Chains A and B, each alone.
Chain A
Amino acid sequence: MPQSNTQNKKRSAEDAFGERPAKMESPFMPMFEGFKSELDEHHDRRERIIKASRDITATSKKIIFGLQRVRNMKQPIPGAITKSNQPLWDLISKAYSSISTDLQGLNTYRYSKQITGGTQEFMEALSFQHYLEAQSLVSLQEASRSTADLGGPNNPILLSEADYLLGVFDMTGELMRFAITVMATSGEVPSAKLEVEGEQSHRNVLTDLRDVRDFLKAVDVPHYSSLNKDMNKKMEVLETCVVKVENALYGLTVRGAERPKGWLPDEKMVGRDEVVGH
């Protein structure tokens, strides 16, 4: 009977691996008991951080989504959008403070792989809002101050150079989306219509986008680092973003003159502009 045979085999395996330690306590048990509680503590912390990071990512995405409703730049964010985004910023700050004690001292860098996703997405939202308000790139220092505050008093949250750079890369995708939407709806490339001390500003989203690209391209990272790999991947995306905006602007220049003033494209036209962008 093959069946009873396998059962026998299974039982003998249990003898060998299961029952013997129970009969004769391993002298190493106390040591392993210590390891068990340390590892459990570590895994619990790790899970908490992973969960918070996911929440922060999702909430930051919602904030960015709200900010994409903005149509003008270098102006305060419209009240309605600020109002709907504020609870989201608060949620992020709550998520960070719930784990900020887990990310102090020795553990500051221990879980960077687990938290970086959330922090990058937060950086994306922060730098996008900063751009819309000030038409400039938020500095690492300023952004670090914002993340530090999120942890609550005495438990600053770290913003690494990698978090910053990768967040800025992602933000350029939002600039592209913002530029295309504004061009499609207003027929003009978004730029601040400001005269700075008598001088006409020639900057618009496209020139700004190129600026950021050039600075990011010049960053010299060791080839063996994981940051280098991540940046190379994101640089490809950034290049296509610039091209998409360039193509959209070309379309606007060629056809724009034919459009009557105040004419708005319908859904299909917006879609076509974007296809041209590819």
Chain B
Amino acid sequence: MASNTVMVDSSIFEDIQQKIDDDTAFNDELRETVQQLNKQVRSAQAALSQVHAIPRDQLAAHITKTQPLIHAEITTISQLATKASQQPYYKWNHVWTRSVQDACFTILFAHYAASSALLTIEDLGARLSIPVNLKDRDAFHLTIEEYLLALISLIEELARLARNAVTIGDYSRPLEIARFVNNIHAGFQILNLKNDILRRRSDGIKYRLKEVEDVVYDLSLRGLVPKEETKDEEMKT
């Protein structure tokens, strides 16, 4: 009865240590890729912050110039996807989720700056060439939460853009942004959010909406709202 002569069979802890070491090595690998992504995200964000200072007619050209930076992010995300898909998605999701959200934000913002339109979660997944809201198998994907959190970052950025657009003489941008933020806000209102990060961050949307509407109010008070926009608004109400 050799097994009964000791309290702890040493192979128990050898096995556990092996598993922990394997996890640590995998974690380090992921972190390396995530750090690269973070660097690329910062470059993309720096380039995109110019959007606040560039007149609209030159914006498309600027966004085209930022495309290589965004492409670099996408390449790193696909490397991350390959690596991460070797193991259960949610075991490691916490390592990259913040960085992926930030990268998603840069893509959403670049797209909005150039076209005033929203990329849906499917559009964004297609851009990244990763599946979205995966349910039937365990692999790397973009979650709904990640998309929504990136969307909230976009709204925060657009609240700033509404004011800065006025500064550089673009009076129609704030009206567009007001409509856009209003529509997103309406969407968030139907979600039953629990007390988590999504809830906490989405609570800020209404304040951003108010900021943007204040800009629109300031403009209309001074008769600065462009003509066709006013007509547009009247038709809609």
- A residues near B200, Cβ cutoff 8 Å: none
Does chain B have a CB within 8 A of A108?
Answer: yes
What 9 pairs across the A-B complex have the smallest Cβ distances? A21-B186, A32-B187, A26-B183, A109-B90, A110-B90, A26-B186, A208-B7, A211-B7, A109-B91
One of B10, B13, B120, B134 near A31 (C-beta < 8 A)? B120
Residues from 1 to 52 in B contacting A, C-beta threshold 8 Å: 1, 3-13, 15-17, 19-21, 24, 27
One of B1, B17, B88, B188 near A32 (C-beta < 8 A)? B188
One of B27, B209, B210 near A222 (C-beta < 8 A)? B27
Does chain A have a CB within 8 A of B115?
Answer: no
Query: A106-B134, A220-B17, A222-B27 known; A203 and B7 CB under 8 Å?
Result: yes
- B residues near A108, Cβ cutoff 8 Å: 88, 90, 138
Residues from 105 to 126 in B contacting A, C-beta threshold 8 Å: 118, 120-121
Residues from 132 to 172 in A contacting B, C-beta threshold 8 Å: 134-137, 139-141, 161, 164-165
- B residues near A264, Cβ cutoff 8 Å: none
Main secondary structure of the interface of B (DSSP, over half): helix
Query: A16-B213, A108-B88 known; A140 and B16 CB under 8 Å?
Result: yes
Which chain A residue shows the least CB distance to B205? A17
Q: How would residues 21 to 52 of chain A score, 1 for a CB under 8 Å from any chain B CB and 0 otherwise?
A: 10110111101110110111001001000000
Q: How far is the CA of A208 from the CA of B5 in the complex (A)?
A: 11
Does chain B have a CB within 8 A of A215?
Answer: yes
Q: Looking at chain A, what size class is its interface with the partner chain?
A: 35 or more
Interface size in chain B (residues, C-beta < 8 A): 54
Does chain A have a CB within 8 A of B54?
Answer: no
Q: How far is the CA of A25 from the CA of B194 in the complex (A)?
A: 25
- B residues near A165, Cβ cutoff 8 Å: 16
Which chain A residue shows the least CB distance to B214? A16
Q: How far is the CA of A203 from the CA of B185 in the complex (A)?
A: 67
CB of A164 within 8 A of CB of B15, answer no
Query: A106-B138, A137-B12 known; A17 and B7 CB under 8 Å?
Result: no
Does chain B have a CB within 8 A of A84?
Answer: no
Q: How near does chain B come to A180, taking the closest CB pair, in angstroms?
A: 18
Residues of B whose CB lies within 8 Å of any CB of A are 1, 3-13, 15-17, 19-21, 24, 27, 88-91, 118, 120-121, 133-138, 144, 148, 182-194, 206, 209-210, 213, 236-237
Which chain B residue shows the least CB distance to A209? B7
- A residues near B6, Cβ cutoff 8 Å: 136, 211
Does chain B have a CB within 8 A of A219?
Answer: yes
- What are 25 A-B pairs at a CB distance below 8 A? A26-B183, A26-B187, A28-B187, A29-B186, A29-B187, A32-B186, A35-B191, A36-B190, A36-B191, A39-B192, A43-B192, A105-B136, A105-B137, A105-B138, A106-B135, A109-B88, A109-B91, A136-B3, A136-B4, A161-B16, A161-B20, A196-B4, A208-B7, A220-B21, A221-B20
Which chain A residue shows the least CB distance to B2? A196
Query: A26-B182, A35-B191, A43-B192 known; A219 and B13 CB under 8 Å?
Result: yes
CB of A140 within 8 A of CB of B12, answer yes
Q: How far is the CA of A107 from the CA of B187 in the complex (A)?
A: 26
Q: How far is the CA of A134 from the CA of B2 in the complex (A)?
A: 12
Query: A31-B120, A109-B91 known; A139 and B189 CB under 8 Å?
Result: no
Query: A24-B236, A161-B19 known; A35 and B148 CB under 8 Å?
Result: yes
Q: How far is the CA of A16 from the CA of B206 in the complex (A)?
A: 10
Q: How far is the CA of A109 from the CA of B88 in the complex (A)?
A: 7
Q: How far is the CA of A115 from the CA of B172 in the complex (A)?
A: 51
- A residues near B190, Cβ cutoff 8 Å: 29, 32-33, 36
CB of B4 within 8 A of CB of A141, answer no
